[in-house]
Amino acid sequence: MKQKAAVYCRLSEEDRNKKNAQEDSGSITNQKLMLTAYADAQGWEVYDIYADDDYAGSDRSRPAFQRMLSDAQRGRFNIVLCKSQSRFTRELEMVEKYIHGLFPEWGIRFVSVVDHVDTAVAGSKKARQINGLLNEWYLEDMSESIKAALHTRMRAGYFIGSFAPYGYQKDPEQKGHLLIDEEAAAVVREIFQLYNSGMGRAAIARYLNRQGIPSPDTYGRLKGRKKKSTGKSPNPCWRYETVSHILTNEVYLGHLIQGRTHNPTYKSRHSVPSDPEAWVRTENTHEPIIDRAVWDTTRCLWNTRAKPCYTGERNKYAGILVCANCGYHMGISYNRHKRFYRCIQAKNGREHCQGSCIFESTLDKAVAQEIKNLRSIYLDEGLLSDSQLLYDDTTLQIKALTAQLRRLEEEHRKLLFTLKSLYMDKVQGVVTEEQFMDLSLSLSQEQSENEAKADYLRSVIAVKKQNRLNDEQKRQRIEAICSFEEIDNLFVRSFIERIEVGGSKQNRVIHIYWKF
């Protein structure tokens, strides 16, 4: 009876760049030609050719490999033929399970051509086990090398993920760099805007679904992303968790935080969370979608954990409104369906705090009046114009100081050149040792004085630049505050640091601390 052989070929990514023909490499086509010719020379009938392209030797889920094992168990052939034992598997455990365990039970003979493995040859088991052990070491060393290379790229600020985060796409011109995907980025910006305006995460997810906006999974498929099967179907809908992930992901600030998960061993197929101290964080690696002001507003709102009341509205003053008497936050309550705030500590008894209380409508009027006062002070009296004049004047001062600094730096270079020339004159005997010492001492003293002046100018320039930046930011924020028409959640989170309410109903005291 003619023996039937199953030809198994495998090529992984790391094999493609090998230069030595004796190594486990070669295209799938070359492997097929070599193995079918070998089978013909032995007089074996080739039952089928099983080929896995771009699969690692440690991957047990290889489709052709699994199909071959299924056919072997059904007795459809009696020989498994490979180029080398490592093409079949690089794991010693798999060698013992199949080549030394199940294959003999199924009546299967294993043959590999390059490393002369043949289970029909008595006394070759130790050689096969040594091959398996060497392949196991190879896998472990390769895993460590890949990890080290990936960590190096992460620390250098390169994105190493398989798929770009939602809102971005991989740069085709620069590996590891992200570019903004404007279509998805617009959705990201809208999510932040909706959250900062008071809409909850679940409400945002429902809104996006009603608008027919594709979820990140669906959007990725529409853009032609190639995803390996994970056993889970992509979620076609926006969910609370998806919105939460976007609102907390610093990738939208232009930063990368990678290495959040890892595989415990090189054999493991399941990732586990990494210690936060082991995360790799690199800043300003790509263009941000969200600016810092919007991000800070989101974080402030997130950290206060403002909960929606039964009307579905959000407590816009949550975490900002405090009692001036004890410093505790003020919680929201209702009196005949009118919203008001009172000190949380006062609920424990007046011995803890006399308590502060204020209706939301009264507080809104106080904030509106304060905005009116700011407009009167800064707009009507022209202080913002004065601020612009001051900004321009500071810019001229910085320009003059910078020019002075450049002159000092030029003098410094000339002094260095003079000192070098003087030294060469001393070496050539043009000036005496005594003359060199006198002149060099004088030049060195002048050089030290210039360096001290230059350092002073640099510090003055740095201070003026920072002051100019602070003044400009303050002016911009005051203009933004004065231009706001509605005291909503976005306004409160963006521009108010803290509000203190104290005193009695007849003599209430309200202090508003702005973010400028």
Residues 12-70 have pLDDT tens digits of 755 554 444 344 445 788 888 888 888 988 899 999 999 988 887 778 888 999 999 99
The first and second tokens of residue 172, run together, are 């085709």
Contact 338, 233 (CB under 8 A): no
The first and second tokens of residue 263, run together, are 């595989």
Q: 240-248 vs 182-196: helix axis angle to the nearest 10?
A: 90
Instruction: Tell how strand 338-343 and strand 330-335 pair up.
Output: antiparallel
Q: Which amino acid is at 137?
A: W
- CA dist 355 and 349 (Å) reads 9
pLDDT band at 507, cuts 50/70/90?
A: confident
Contact 88, 8 (CB under 8 A): yes
The first and second tokens of residue 389, run together, are 């004049």
Q: Largest alpha-carbon pair distance within the chain? A: 109
Note every long-range contact of 118-125, with CB atoms under 8 Å and residues 24 or more positions apart, other chains counting. 125/100
The mean per-residue pLDDT over the stretch 352-370 comes to 84
Q: Which amino acid is at 355?
A: G
Is residue 77 exposed (0-12), middle (13-18) or buried (19+ Cβ within 10 Å)? buried
- pLDDT tens track for 238-297: 988 899 999 999 999 999 888 877 666 655 556 677 787 888 888 889 999 999 888 888
The first and second tokens of residue 418, run together, are 């003079």
Q: Among the ranges 92-96, 159-163, 165-169, 378-382, which has the highest mean pLDDT value?
A: 165-169
Helix, strand, coil: what percent of the chain each, to 5?
A: 50, 15, 35
Contact 283, 300 (CB under 8 A): no
Q: Which amino acid is at 93?
A: E
pLDDT band at 231, cuts 50/70/90?
A: very low
Q: Which helix (H) or strand (E) holds 506?
A: none
Contact 127, 117 (CB under 8 A): yes
> How confident is the model at residue 136, as a pLDDT?
60
Q: Which amino acid is at 334?
A: Y
> How confident is the model at residue 339, as a pLDDT?
82
Mean pLDDT of the chain: 79
| Structural domains of the chain in order of their starting residue, each with its CATH number | 4-148 (3.40.50.1390), 168-226+234-293 (no CATH), 309-516 (no CATH)
The mean per-residue pLDDT over the stretch 409-433 comes to 81
Q: Is 485 helix (H, G, I), strand (E, B) or coil?
A: coil
> How confident is the model at residue 143, as a pLDDT?
59
Mean pLDDT is lowest, of 20-29, 88-97, 165-174, 321-330, for: 20-29
The mean per-residue pLDDT over the stretch 189-202 comes to 86
Q: Supply the pTM of this predicted model.
A: 0.45
State yes or no: pLDDT of 131 exceeds 80. no
- Measured at the CA of 89, the angle between CA 83 and CA 93, to 5 degrees, comes to 140
Q: How many CB atoms lie within 10 A of CB 507?
A: 7
Q: Where are the beta strands (DSSP E) in 62-203?
A: 79-82, 109-112, 117-118, 168-170, 178-180
Q: 383-427 vs 433-483: helix axis angle to the nearest 10?
A: 160
